[in-house]
Amino acid sequence: MQDQTPKDWLEAELQDTLDEDFEIEMEDAVLSQEIARIYRQTHPDQMPRADYFRELLRLQAEMIKLQDWVAHHKEKVVVIFEGRDSAGKGGAIKRITQRLNPRVARVVALPAPSDREKTQWYFQRYVPHLPAGGEIVLFDRSWYNRAGVERVMGFATEDQVQQFFDDVPEFERMLVRSGIRLVKYWFSITDEEQQMRFLMRIHDPLKQWKLSPMDLQSRVRWEDYTKAKEEMFERTNIPEAPWYIVPGNDKKRARLNCMAHLLTMVPYEPVPHEEITLPDRVFNPDYEREVLPPELYVPQRY
């Protein structure tokens, strides 16, 4: 086989990257024909895939610039993602972080609190995950669990909820005063859209793991969650850390709109980079590579 030129190799790498993007976008591929037909009817104005990928890659390139600026200037950024179950928070987070350095940008998605954590100061379990200088932390759900699922499902008393509402504005002001840039997003979808997405998950074996008992209860208690959300906005939408609502019925547009808005919330600029040159490989003519036993290799099945 003829050796590949650098151009051929770069084209192959780019194609591999685009294949990964396409693989991620195949989220809704395993659907019954009936569910797929209904979905197309309820989403007639879908964004052309080529336009979506072109803008996604452009925004992800800007995200890398933002990341470099945060790392260079030792900035601290916290982004909170809240919203209805199946509203698209996870998909947006995945696209934001897809090309970022995990040593700079990390996602925090905490499980249910342990018995010990239930006895702590409420915010205590979240504080260790806050960023140091040069870090971006994205919370896939956050301390606002207390204003949402904990309240609606009865995991927190009404006294605890009211204490949370009294405490959280000052807690967030403290974060901002400490130098943290705090951005809060609420992903919003309609009742009908959530029902459609839950049905898709039921019929998609690759997504059934996403349906928890809490998700199913969110359908039953839609109005309770609506009331809880409205009070949460009223009590916690402070000038230092306002809420930003992302309409989420169209997943692709929601991701792009969220990314574009986040880029406006941080005054990033290009930072200096040292020119990278590939050093020459050290060649030792006396070195002879040992042959490893075949059982150490992964079987070549494909």
111-161: pLDDT as tens digits = 999 999 999 999 999 999 999 999 999 999 999 999 999 999 999 999 999
**What pLDDT does 100 receive?**
98
Note the pTM of the prediction, 2 decimals. Answer: 0.83
The band of 30, judged by pLDDT with boundaries at 50, 70 and 90, is very low
Residue 27: band (very low, low, confident or very high) from pLDDT cuts 50, 70, 90: low
More confident residue, 206 or 95: 95
Tell me the pLDDT tens digit for each residue of 104-119. 999 999 999 999 999 9
* Res. 28 pLDDT band, cuts 50 70 90: very low
Q: What is the DSSP string of the chain?
A: -PPPPHHHHHHHHHHHHHHHHHHHHGGG-S--HHHHHHHHHH--SPPPHHHHHHHHHHHHHHHHHHHHHHHHHT-EEEEEEEESTTSSHHHHHHHHHTTS-TTTEEEE---SPPHHHHTS-GGGGTGGGS--TTEEEEEES-GGGTTTHHHHTTSS-HHHHHHHHHHHHHHHHHHHHTTEEEEEEEEE--HHHHHHHHHHHHH-TTTGGG--HHHHHHHHTHHHHHHHHHHHHHHH-BTTB-EEEEE-SSHHHHHHHHHHHHHHTS-------PPP-PPPPP--TT--PPPPPGGGSPP---
Quickly state the pLDDT bin for 243 (edges 50, 70, 90): very high
pLDDT of residue 78: 98
